[in-house]
Structure 1
Amino acid sequence: MATRILAFDTTTELCSVAMMIDHSIYDHKIVAPRSHSENILPMINQLLIEVGVTLQSLDCIVFNRGPGSFSGIRIGISVAQGLALGADLPLVEVSALEVLAQGAWRIFSAKQVISTIDARMGELYWACYHRISDDSCWIRSDNESIIRPEIIIKKLIYSSFQKLQGNWALVGTGWNNYPMLKCIRVPGVISLKKSIMSPEAQDMLPLGICSWKNKIFIHPNQAKPVYLRNVVAVKPDDILVL
């Protein structure tokens, strides 16, 4: 019996949906700032029709728990909960930062990745990942955290990446949205930041199927967002002028 998994992402300006039927992947994506709530359900419905399956026939739904846009995360979790409850399906959660790493692997076969997402207010969401082999899962080298650009500079340049051996790829919006990070040059660090900017649903599928096969899934009522920041109001002094 074919494995059937649906994934979708609304955590950044990119709105994307994808489905895996056995080993075949189908996906749609659009850049839709501030309109995910209007687009995500029609996109999911369109993909189900195109692939010719029903929601009830799926094995599970993969959702992005964040970090990312506060409203985008909430929209994604609400949709995931509603669909899963209605179709009696389990949910699998993935990290937005790990999804970026998976994108670097899919496109460039990068096995060591530093993912960032612009958190606004002069900060970035940050995490480092590596994988041992082609068929292995990602291992996080540190905790997901929120960090200022100048601290990243210190980590990359002044510490000389002492604990991170080999070549590392930089991906995500965080690198490209801050001038001091845009042109960073560090031995062993490869900039892929312009190629992989946002998490995509198609890259959630390998992560989700790994968890699903290992029976790592949750009930819809257990789905929770990961914001990394508790403060949601932007103060004038916190705005970084680019």
Structure 2
Amino acid sequence: MNILSIETATEHGSVAVLHGDELLVRRIQGAANHSEAVLRDLRELLAEAGLAVAQLDAVAFGAGPGAFTGLRLACGVAQGIALAADLGVAAIGSLQALALQVGAARVLVATDARMGEIYCATFVTDAAGVPQPQGVPRCCAPLELELPPGEWSAAGSAFRAWPEELEARTAGRLVACLPDLHPRAEEVARLGAIQARAGRLVAPELAAPLYVRDKVALTTAERLARGGRA
């Protein structure tokens, strides 16, 4: 299975090519560099793997939730490559990709959504080792996080941004917490391969980001109400 993947939902971007059992990766630090580096790095990875675009089985991208610009970039690049090569697209939830990176049986993922909010979701890993979402991702205030009963492993930037608030909501039920993990293209590629094998790819024109939140900025009054500057 040959999968090309893009993950730019956060400032910690990456691209990857899964070629059989071999996984080639490039990191792209800083959101401002994503648009310049994605296509260049993908070309280099394909050359390193000895693959032409026509030899790919699918294109996968991190669909979010995350930064609007990064999600649109990943989706647009995936659509363009897939359309040109007549390939299907796998739109992979970025929180699911992060849960796969954790590799635990029960995972709470929470990432910083800015504007005083977090993106969060819970996952239970199935017998095949794939984290299955328990409901849909939410965007909420940290103190509105809802965690089902039981013990969980946790990951995501929200635990660095809102440690006290999330500690209050998880009430000592976290057996591990990895606040410095970010969604990566390698897990997006692996989940994309699973979708491709299952015949669950979508046509490029139907691929879309998972925004969760439509609002991208606060008004001046809202910033002042939250203790910010005008």
Per the normalisation by structure 2, the TM-score is 0.90
Q: Which residue of 2 aligns with 1:173?
A: 157
Shift of 1:73: 0.4
Shift of 1:192: 2.9
- Give identity over the alignment, percent: 29
Matched, 1:127 2:121: yes
Shift of 1:179: 4.4
User: C-alpha distance in 2, partners of 1:212/1:221?
Assistant: 17
User: C-alpha distance in 2, partners of 1:124/1:148?
Assistant: 6
User: C-alpha distance in 1, partners of 2:179/2:155?
Assistant: 8
User: C-alpha distance in 1, partners of 2:35/2:163?
Assistant: 32
- The 8 Å contact of residues 56 and 87 in structure 1, kept in 2 or not, is answered as yes
- The 8 Å contact of residues 137 and 210 in structure 1, kept in 2 or not, is answered as no
- The 8 Å contact of residues 115 and 171 in structure 1, kept in 2 or not, is answered as yes
Paired letter, 2:137: E
Matched, 1:25 2:1: no
User: C-alpha distance in 1, partners of 2:106/2:227?
Assistant: 29
User: In angstroms, what is the RMSD of aligned CA positions?
Assistant: 1.9
Matched, 1:203 2:201: no
- The 8 Å contact of residues 7 and 62 in structure 1, kept in 2 or not, is answered as yes
1:150 pairs, out of 132, 143, 153, with 143
Paired letter, 1:70: F
Shift of 1:210: 1.2
Q: Which residue of 1 aligns with 2:207?
A: 223
- The 8 Å contact of residues 124 and 148 in structure 1, kept in 2 or not, is answered as yes
- The 8 Å contact of residues 20 and 205 in structure 1, kept in 2 or not, is answered as yes
1:30-109 → structure 2 map (5 Å cutoff): 30-105=28-103
Shift of 1:147: 1.1
- The 8 Å contact of residues 160 and 180 in structure 2, kept in 1 or not, is answered as no
User: C-alpha distance in 1, partners of 2:202/2:193?
Assistant: 14
- The 8 Å contact of residues 176 and 182 in structure 1, kept in 2 or not, is answered as no
- The 8 Å contact of residues 31 and 70 in structure 2, kept in 1 or not, is answered as no
Any gaps of 5 or more consecutive residues in structure 1?
Answer: 157-162
Paired letter, 1:205: A
Any gaps of 5 or more consecutive residues in structure 2?
Answer: none
Name which of structure 1's ranges 29-38 and 75-84 shifts more when overlaid on structure 2. 29-38
Q: Which residue of 2 aligns with 1:141?
A: 134
User: C-alpha distance in 1, partners of 2:19/2:137?
Assistant: 31
Shift of 1:88: 1.3
Paired letter, 1:76: A
User: C-alpha distance in 2, partners of 1:132/1:83?
Assistant: 31
User: C-alpha distance in 2, partners of 1:24/1:36?
Assistant: 24
Deviations 1:4-30 (A, max 9, x none): 111111110011011111122111113
Shift of 1:206: 2.0
1:111 pairs, out of 105, 114, 127, with 105
User: C-alpha distance in 1, partners of 2:115/2:172?
Assistant: 29
Shift of 1:235: 2.5
Three-state SS of the structure 1 residue aligned to 2:178 is: coil
Per the normalisation by structure 1, the TM-score is 0.86
Deviations 1:195-232 (A, max 9, x none): 41x10000112211111111000111001121111112
User: C-alpha distance in 1, partners of 2:74/2:113?
Assistant: 18
How many aligned residue pairs are there? 224
